[in-house]
Chains A and B, each alone.
Chain A
Amino acid sequence: MADWFAYDFMQRALVAGVMAGLLCGLVSFFVVLRRLAFVGAGISHSALGGVAVGVLLGINPILAATVFCTVVAWAIGLVSRKGHLYEDTAIGIFFVTAMALGIAVLSLAVGYYADLFSFLFGSILSVTKTDLVLLGIMGTGIAAFLLLFLKELLFICFDYEAACAAGVPAGLLYYGLLTSLALTVVVTVKILGIVLASALLVMPAATGYELCKNFRGVLAVAVADGVLATVVGLLLSYWLNLPSGATIVLCAAVLFFTAFLFSPYRRSARRVHSPVS
């Protein structure tokens, strides 16, 4: 393990990978449960608009993306919950608008394209100590919110109406969930990039779904899968000289398809449906 771990940038990348894997695994549980996969993809793509606005205004692009993604997430939630538009229609409109804004604004900022590439496809090896602190603070806050309100979030994911009737502040928690999703996208963009960030918001929990019947198991597998995919992907990308973001996503995909093929539930279902010889 020695040589790669001697580099500061690899140590930081590994810590960032573990933290992002933990966070994405946890958030993905709710994304899959509440069927927010397309919302995650929409928010991550709209991060480009935030980055562009940050560049144009001369402020930290990540900070600008944080505000931008959160506003887009709330807008998607508001428009779809009020029934003005279907959720997927709202996402389709908001995320292409935000991306178009990003491309238009960035075309004005001459010479920015090298950095843009790292935002689009991620650059975990360029993670700074400040990025780690930001990831740590945001990750702790998001994890605290999701775990403290776990029973209420589960309830609204399962039966929204009954949860409202039971006095659960479902609207507030839904927006809290969207905010958590937006913030997770922002901190993941540095590692996986805008294009691939949404992958880790779906695949870890999708893998857990294939292997476990109970939410505790799904949650545990999702978190473990997120960390494993990130760490193994990072190391493979270093050894094979591949783009880190793409390698991490490919590792998550391999884990998912393995779980899918060997899922005990699918196998038992096949046994039930196979004809008696």
Chain B
Amino acid sequence: MIVSLENVTVTLSGNKVLDAVTLSFAEGTFTGVVGPNGAGKTTLLKVILGLIKPDYGTVRVFGTPPAGRGNRRHHIGYLPQRQQFDRRFPISVLDAAMMGRVPCIGLLRFPTREHREAARKSLEMVGLDREIAGRQIGELSGGQQQLVFLARALCSHTKLLLLDEPTAGLDILAQQRFYNLVRSLQHDLGLTVILVTHDLGAVAAYADELVCLNKQVYARGEPGRIMASPVLGELFGNNLFPRAKEDALADGRLVCV
């Protein structure tokens, strides 16, 4: 297992955000983690990244505790929730992608031509051509920016890709393109993908496995089974789930088992 959590409990500001969560993620799988707001999805990713230390329980990433990963840090790509940034922030698309190379370059060292080339390749992998590399990051559309950040997450020998609500704020077409791209990259590069989202219908169509989280793990399994189970109704409320399910069934992305 690339990632394993055992009995992980996290309390933030007096509220229990994760409660005795036990989960594992196998190499080369695409897992969608779904749950309502405040379910602890982002916290789960931050625990895996070592940004939040659990109160109880053990976390292993590549067989070691997250904080002690040391030289394996560069095997993890992370795409945080979309944040508003200064559109005039003075970096080019290539500079932004190069930030993903920081764990490979190391402290007190400067990027070389090899690092720049790796960043360019990453941009190409996500479908951004070389001409765009010199443009200021703030000049791109939201969808293109998200692709740049995906390239940044991929450009450091990434084996584990963590995506936090990556399609929030994107239109339907851009969302589908994004999920298709992630799926094909996962297949081509043998990535292990953990994707956190509210977008039940979409993730069910692309993920190998779904995890339903609301502070605890309610269910996990193949998307078809999960979408057909009553657990989602409990998690999201009965009004939301049938619509997501019906949408997914109607456009043929989902077949209930």
| Contacts from A to B (Cβ < 8 Å) | 33, 148-149, 151-152, 154-155, 157-159, 161-169, 209, 212-215, 217-218, 265
Contacts and interface: CB of A to CB of B under 8 A. Distances in A.
A162 B49 CA distance: 10
Q: Which 3 A-B pairs have the closest CB atoms?
A: A167-B73, A165-B78, A215-B90
Contact of B90 (A166, A167, A168, A212): A212
B39 interface: no
Interface in B145-169: 149, 152, 156
A155 to B, nearest CB: 5
Given A165-B76, A165-B80, A154 B92 contact: no
Interface of B: 49, 51, 69, 73-74, 76, 78-80, 83, 85, 88-92, 95-96, 98-100, 102-103, 105, 107-108, 110-111, 136, 149, 152, 156
Contacts of A213: 88, 90, 92, 136
A161 B45 CA distance: 12
A159 B99 contact: yes
Nearest to B134: A214
B136 A158 contact: no
A213 B49 CA distance: 32
Contacts of B110: 151
B90 A162 contact: no
Among B74, B76, B90, B102, the one with the most A-chain Cβ atoms within 10 Å of its Cβ is B90
Contacts of B96: 158
Contacts of A214: 90-92, 95, 136
Contacts of A265: 88
Contacts of A155: 99, 102
Contact of A165 (B49, B85, B88, B95): B49
Contacts of A217: 90
B89 A165 contact: no
Contacts of A167: 69, 73-74, 102-103
Given A162-B79, A214-B92, 16 more contacts: A149-B108, A151-B98, A151-B110, A158-B96, A159-B85, A161-B83, A162-B80, A164-B51, A165-B49, A165-B78, A166-B73, A166-B156, A167-B73, A167-B74, A214-B91, A265-B88
Contacts of A165: 49, 51, 76, 78, 80
Nearest to A164: B51
Nearest to B70: A167
20 contacts: A33-B89, A33-B90, A151-B110, A151-B111, A152-B107, A154-B95, A155-B102, A158-B96, A159-B83, A161-B83, A163-B102, A164-B51, A165-B51, A167-B102, A213-B90, A214-B92, A214-B95, A214-B136, A215-B90, A218-B90
A214 B96 CA distance: 11
Contacts of B80: 159, 161-162, 165
Among A164, A165, A209, the one with the most B-chain Cβ atoms within 10 Å of its Cβ is A165
Nearest to A212: B90
A212 B49 CA distance: 35
A151 B73 CA distance: 17
